[in-house]
Amino acid sequence: MNTKQKIEALRDELRQHNYNYYILDNPTISDYEFDIKLKELQALEDKHPEFYDENSPTLRVGGAITKNFNTVVHDFRMYSLDNSYSKEDLLDWEKRIKKLVDGQVQYTCELKYDGASMNLTYENGKLIRAVTRGDGVQGDEVTANVKTIKTVPLQLRGDFPERFDIRGEIILPIDGFLKMNEERIANDEEPYRNPRNTASGSLKLQDSAEVAKRPLECLLYSIKGNNLNISTQFEGLQKAREWGFKVPKEAKLVNTIDEVLAFVNYWDTHRHDLPYEIDGIVIKVNNLYQQDELGFTAKAPRWAMAYKFKAEQVSTRLNEITYQVGRTGAITPVANLEPVQLAGTIVKRASLHNADQIEKLDIRVGDEVFVEKGGEIIPKIIAVDLSKRPESSLVTKYISRCPECYTELIRPEGEAKHYCPNYNACPPQVIGRIQHYISRKAMDIEGLGGETVALLVTNGLVTDYSDLYELKVEDVLPLERMAQKSAENLVNGIEASKQIPFERVLFALGIRYVGETVAKKLAKHYKSIDNLKMASILDLVGVDEIGERIAESVVEFFSSEENIRIVERLRAFGVQLEISAEKLANQTNKLNGNSFVVSGVFETVSRTELKKLIEDNGGKVSSSISSKTSYLVAGDKMGPSKRTKAEDLKIPIISEAEFLNMIS
Ligand SMILES: NC(=O)c1ccc[n+]([C@@H]2O[C@H](COP(=O)([O-])OP(=O)(O)OC[C@H]3O[C@@H](n4cnc5c(N)ncnc54)[C@H](O)[C@@H]3O)[C@@H](O)[C@H]2O)c1
Ligand SMILES: [Zn+2]
For a ligand 1 pocket test, name from 112, 165, 233, 376 the mutation site with the most ligand atoms within 8 angstroms of its C-beta.
Answer: 112
What is the spatial distance between Cα 246 and Cα 221, in angstroms, rounded to a whole number? 9
- Ligand 1 contacts CB of residue 221 (under 6 A): yes
Has residue 614 got a pLDDT over 50?
yes
Percent of all residues in the chain with a pLDDT value above 90, rounded to a whole number: 61
Q: Poorest-confidence range of 181-185, 357-361, 412-416, 549-553? A: 181-185
Q: What is the mean pLDDT of residues 5-16?
A: 94
Indicate left, alpha or beta for 637 from its phi (over 0: left) and psi (-120 to 50: alpha).
left
Has residue 321 got a pLDDT over 70?
yes
Residue of the CA atom closest to atom 41 of ligand 1: 35
Q: Poorest-confidence range of 191-200, 387-396, 452-461? A: 191-200
- Ligand 1 contacts CB of residue 83 (under 6 A): yes
| pLDDT value, residue 190 | 63
- The closest of 91, 104, 81, 58 to 221, measured between CA atoms, is 81
Angle, in degrees to the nearest 10, between helices 561-573 and 548-558: 80
Residue 21 CA, ligand 2 centroid: distance in Å: 25
Between CA 524 and CA 518, with CA 447 as vertex, the angle to 5 degrees is 20
- Ligand 1 contacts CB of residue 219 (under 6 A): no
Has residue 222 got a pLDDT over 90?
yes
Q: Poorest-confidence range of 91-95, 512-516, 521-525, 595-599? A: 512-516
Count of Cβ atoms closer than 10 Å to residue 24 Cβ: 12
What is the spatial distance between Cα 442 and Cα 500, in angstroms, rounded to a whole number? 9
Q: Is 413 helix (H, G, I), strand (E, B) or coil?
A: coil
| pLDDT value, residue 374 | 53
Residue of the CA atom closest to atom 8 of ligand 1: 31
Q: What is the mean pLDDT of residues 429-433?
A: 93
Give the distance, in angstroms, between the CA of residue 466 and the centroid of all CA atoms in the same chain: 28
Number of the ligand closest to the Cα of 329: 2
Angle, in degrees to the nearest 10, between helices 195-203 and 174-186: 80
Residue 82 CA, ligand 2 centroid: distance in Å: 39
Q: Is 158 helix (H, G, I), strand (E, B) or coil?
A: coil
- Ligand 1 contacts CB of residue 21 (under 6 A): yes
Burial of residue 593 (CB within 10 Å: 0-12, 13-18, 19+) is exposed
Report pLDDT digits (tens) over 25-69: 777 777 778 888 999 999 999 999 999 998 899 988 888 887 789
The partner residues of 170 in beta bridges, in order of sequence, read 116, 218
Number of the ligand closest to the Cα of 327: 2
ipTM given for this complex: 0.94
Report pLDDT digits (tens) over 464-513: 999 999 999 999 999 888 889 999 999 999 999 999 999 999 999 999 88
| pLDDT value, residue 375 | 44
| pLDDT value, residue 641 | 78
Instruction: Decide the pairing of beta strands 380-384 and 368-373.
Output: antiparallel
- Ligand 1 contacts CB of residue 351 (under 6 A): no
Q: Which CATH class is domain 312-421?
A: mainly beta
Sign of CA dihedral 233, 234, 240, 242: negative
Asked whether the beta carbons of 263 and 109 are under 8 A apart, the reply is yes
Work out the pLDDT band at 73, boundaries 50, 70, 90. very high
| pLDDT value, residue 191 | 66
Q: Is 539 helix (H, G, I), strand (E, B) or coil?
A: helix
Q: Poorest-confidence range of 135-149, 160-174, 434-448? A: 434-448
Q: Do domains 427-498 and 502-584 have the same CATH topology?
A: yes
Mean predicted lDDT score pLDDT of the chain: 90
Number of the ligand closest to the Cα of 431: 2
Q: How many CA atoms lie within 13 A of 52 on its CB side?
A: 12
- Ligand 1 contacts CB of residue 62 (under 6 A): yes
Residue 450 CA, ligand 2 centroid: distance in Å: 19
Report pLDDT digits (tens) over 154-166: 999 999 999 999 9
Residue numbers in the known binding site for NAD(+) are 31-35, 80-81, 110, 133, 169, 284, 308
For a ligand 1 pocket test, name from 169, 194, 247, 284 the mutation site with the most ligand atoms within 8 angstroms of its C-beta.
Answer: 169
Asked whether the beta carbons of 514 and 506 are under 8 A apart, the reply is yes
- Ligand 1 contacts CB of residue 35 (under 6 A): yes
Residue 31 CA, ligand 1 centroid: distance in Å: 9
Asked whether the whole model's pTM tops 0.90, one would answer no
- Ligand 1 contacts CB of residue 236 (under 6 A): no
What is the spatial distance between Cα 254 and Cα 299, in angstroms, rounded to a whole number? 26
The CATH code of the domain at 595-663 is 3.40.50.10190
Q: Which residue has the higher pLDDT, 121 or 309?
A: 121
- Ligand 1 contacts CB of residue 26 (under 6 A): no
Residue 485 CA, ligand 2 centroid: distance in Å: 35
- Ligand 1 contacts CB of residue 133 (under 6 A): yes
**Closest ligand 1 atom, CA of 38?**
41
Work out the pLDDT band at 621, boundaries 50, 70, 90. confident
Has residue 21 got a pLDDT over 60?
yes
Report pLDDT digits (tens) over 251-287: 999 999 999 999 999 998 888 789 999 999 999 999 9
**Closest ligand 1 atom, CA of 304?**
33
The partner residues of 138 in beta bridges, in order of sequence, read 73
Topology adopted by domain 427-498: DNA polymerase; domain 1 (1.10.150)
Instruction: Decide the pairing of beta strands 631-634 and 653-654.
Output: parallel
Residue numbers in the known binding site for Zn(2+) are 402, 405, 420, 426
What is the spatial distance between Cα 374 and Cα 343, in angstroms, rounded to a whole number? 9
Has residue 188 got a pLDDT over 70?
no
Residue of the CA atom closest to atom 7 of ligand 1: 18
What is the spatial distance between Cα 236 and Cα 240, in angstroms, rounded to a whole number? 6
What is the spatial distance between Cα 8 and Cα 13, in angstroms, rounded to a whole number? 8
**Closest ligand 1 atom, CA of 21?**
5
The CA–CA distances, whole Å, from 404 to 326, 350, 357, 381, 419 equal 11, 20, 22, 25, 12
**Closest ligand 1 atom, CA of 30?**
1
The CATH code of the domain at 3-49 is 1.10.287.610
Residue of the CA atom closest to atom 20 of ligand 1: 81
Report pLDDT digits (tens) over 532-565: 999 999 999 988 778 888 899 999 999 999 999 9
Has residue 86 got a pLDDT over 90?
no
Percent of all residues in the chain with a pLDDT value above 70, rounded to a whole number: 98
Q: Where are the alpha helices (DSSP H) in 590-639?
A: 607-616
Number of the ligand closest to the Cα of 132: 1
What is the spatial distance between Cα 608 and Cα 424, in angstroms, rounded to a whole number? 38
Give me Rg for the CA atoms of the chain: 26
Q: What is the mean pLDDT of residues 212-223?
A: 95
For a ligand 1 pocket test, name from 28, 80, 171, 224 the mutation site with the most ligand atoms within 8 angstroms of its C-beta.
Answer: 80
- Ligand 1 contacts CB of residue 113 (under 6 A): yes
The amino acid sitting at 630 is S
- Ligand 1 contacts CB of residue 160 (under 6 A): no
Has residue 441 got a pLDDT over 70?
yes
Residue of the CA atom closest to atom 42 of ligand 1: 31
Burial of residue 253 (CB within 10 Å: 0-12, 13-18, 19+) is middle
The CA–CA distances, whole Å, from 84 to 79, 280, 281, 430 equal 16, 10, 10, 40
- Ligand 1 contacts CB of residue 282 (under 6 A): yes
Q: Looking at 6, 99, 112, 348, which residue is catalytic? A: 112
The CA–CA distances, whole Å, from 37 to 317, 415, 560 equal 28, 17, 35
Query: 502-584: CATH homologous superfamily?
Result: 5' to 3' exonuclease, C-terminal subdomain (1.10.150.20)
Residue 29 CA, ligand 2 centroid: distance in Å: 23
What is the spatial distance between Cα 63 and Cα 389, in angstroms, rounded to a whole number? 42
Ordered by start, the domain boundaries in the chain are 3-49, 82-308, 312-421, 427-498, 502-584, 595-663
CATH number belonging to the domain at 82-308, selected among 3.20.20.80, 3.40.50.2020, 3.30.470.30, 3.40.50.10540: 3.30.470.30
**Closest ligand 1 atom, CA of 22?**
6
Residue of the CA atom closest to atom 16 of ligand 1: 80
112 tagged catalytic: yes
What is the spatial distance between Cα 347 and Cα 370, in angstroms, rounded to a whole number? 12
Residue 177 CA, ligand 1 centroid: distance in Å: 20
Residue 463 CA, ligand 2 centroid: distance in Å: 14
Report pLDDT digits (tens) over 369-393: 988 875 445 678 888 989 999 998 9
What is the spatial distance between Cα 452 and Cα 465, in angstroms, rounded to a whole number? 13
Residue 233 CA, ligand 1 centroid: distance in Å: 19
Residue 510 CA, ligand 2 centroid: distance in Å: 18
Number of the ligand closest to the Cα of 139: 1
